[in-house]
Amino acid sequence: MTLHLDDLRVRRLGECRYDSPFSETLSTKQTSPHYVAEGDRVLLEDTVSMLADHGLPLGRIPSFEAAGPRRKIYFDPSQVTAGIVTCGGLCPGLNNVIRGLVQEIYVHYQVKQVLGFRNGLQGLTAAHRDDTIELTPDRVRDIHNAGGTILGSSRGGQDADEMVDTLVSRGIDIMFVIGGDGGMRAATFLSEAIRARGLDIAVIGVPKTIDNDLPFTDQSFGFQSAFARATDFISAVAVEAAAGLNGVGIVKLMGRHSGFIASYAALAANAADIVLIPEIPFALGGPDGLLAHVEQHVRTKGHVVIVLAEGAGQELLEEHGLPQQNGRGTDASGNLKLGDIGGLLQASITAHLTAVGLSPTMRYIDPSYAVRSIAANAYDSVYCLRLAHAAVHAAMAGRTEAAVARWRRRFVHVPLSLMTSRRNQVDPDGDLWMSVLETTCQPAVFGPARDRGMVRIGFC
Ligand SMILES: Nc1ncnc2c1ncn2[C@@H]1O[C@H](COP(=O)(O)OP(=O)(O)OP(=O)(O)O)[C@@H](O)[C@H]1O
Ligand SMILES: O=P(O)(O)OC[C@H]1O[C@](O)(CO)[C@@H](O)[C@@H]1O
Ligand SMILES: [Mg+2]
Binding residues: 89, 155-156, 180-183, 209-211, 254-256, 310, 369-372
Q: How far apart are CA 192 and CA 198, in angstroms?
A: 10
| Residues 58, 152 share a domain | yes
Kindly tell me if the per-residue pLDDT of 325 is higher than 70: no
Among 176, 208, 333, residue to substitute to test ligand 1 (most atoms within 8 Å of Cβ) = 333
Q: What is the mean pLDDT of residues 392-418?
A: 97
CATH of the domain at 334: 3.40.50.460
| Residues 156, 95 share a domain | yes
- Could you list the residue range(s) of the whole structural domain that residue 385 is in? 5-220+376-419
Provide CB contacts within 8 A for 205, sequence distance 6+.
176, 177, 178, 179, 183, 184, 187, 402, 403, 404, 416, 419
Ligand nearest to the CA of 208: 1
The pTM is what? Answer: 0.95
| Residues 412, 338 share a domain | no
pLDDT band of residue 448 (cuts 50, 70, 90) is confident
CATH of the domain at 94: 3.40.50.450
CA-based angle 181:184:188, to the nearest 5? Answer: 135
Q: How far apart are CA 342 and CA 98, in angstroms?
A: 35
- Whether 121 is in a domain gets the answer yes
- Whether 460 is in a domain gets the answer no
Q: What is the mean pLDDT of residues 278-292?
A: 95
pLDDT higher for 433 or 450? 433
Kindly tell me if the per-residue pLDDT of 261 is higher than 50: yes
- Whether 457 is in a domain gets the answer no
Residue having the nearest C-alpha atom to atom 7 of ligand 2: 89
- Whether 137 is in a domain gets the answer yes
- Whether 118 is in a domain gets the answer yes
| Residues 348, 235 share a domain | yes
Give pLDDT, residue 324: 59
pLDDT band of residue 323 (cuts 50, 70, 90) is low
- Whether 77 is in a domain gets the answer yes
Sign (positive or negative) of CA dihedral 136, 139, 142, 146:
negative
Among 158, 184, 185, residue to substitute to test ligand 1 (most atoms within 8 Å of Cβ) = 185
| Residues 342, 311 share a domain | yes
Q: What is the mean pLDDT of residues 257-282?
A: 97
Q: What is the number of the ligand 2 atom nearest to the C-alpha of 331? A: 4
Give pLDDT, residue 197: 98
| Residues 208, 242 share a domain | no
Among 223, 314, 368, residue to substitute to test ligand 2 (most atoms within 8 Å of Cβ) = 368
What is the identity of the amino acid at 337?
K
pLDDT band of residue 245 (cuts 50, 70, 90) is very high
| Residues 17, 113 share a domain | yes
Whether 155 is in the pocket of ligand 1, judged by its Cβ within 6 Å, is yes
- The catalytic residue positions are 211
- Domain total in the chain: 2
Q: How far apart are CA 37 and CA 71, in angstroms?
A: 11
| Residues 283, 168 share a domain | no
Closest CA to 280 of 441, 425, 456, 453: 425
| Residues 234, 185 share a domain | no
Q: Which of 97-101, 154-158, 284-288, 317-321 has the highest mean pLDDT?
A: 97-101
Give pLDDT, residue 449: 57
Q: How far apart are CA 448 and CA 358, in angstroms?
A: 25
pLDDT band of residue 322 (cuts 50, 70, 90) is low
Lowest mean pLDDT segment, chosen from 111-125, 145-159, 393-407, 440-454: 440-454
Kindly tell me if the per-residue pLDDT of 372 is higher than 90: yes
| Residues 251, 151 share a domain | no
Whether 89 is in the pocket of ligand 1, judged by its Cβ within 6 Å, is yes
Q: Residue 280: helix, strand or coil by DSSP?
A: coil
Each residue of 8-59: pLDDT tens digit? 999 999 999 999 999 999 888 877 777 777 788 999 998 999 888 888 888 8
Chain mean pLDDT for the chain = 93
CA of 278 to the centre of ligand 1 (A): 21
What does each C-alpha distance from 128 to 112, 149, 202, 278 come to in angstroms?
22, 18, 21, 37
- Whether 240 is in a domain gets the answer yes
| Residues 178, 277 share a domain | no
pLDDT band of residue 326 (cuts 50, 70, 90) is low
Alpha helices in 28-159, H assignment, sequence order: 48-54, 94-103, 137-140
Kindly tell me if the per-residue pLDDT of 455 is higher than 50: no
Ligand nearest to the CA of 189: 1
Q: What is the mean pLDDT of residues 132-140?
A: 98
Q: How far apart are CA 440 and CA 271, in angstroms?
A: 8
| Residues 115, 37 share a domain | yes
Residue having the nearest C-alpha atom to atom 19 of ligand 1: 88
- Whether 178 is in a domain gets the answer yes
Binding residues for substrate: 209-211, 254-256, 310, 369-372
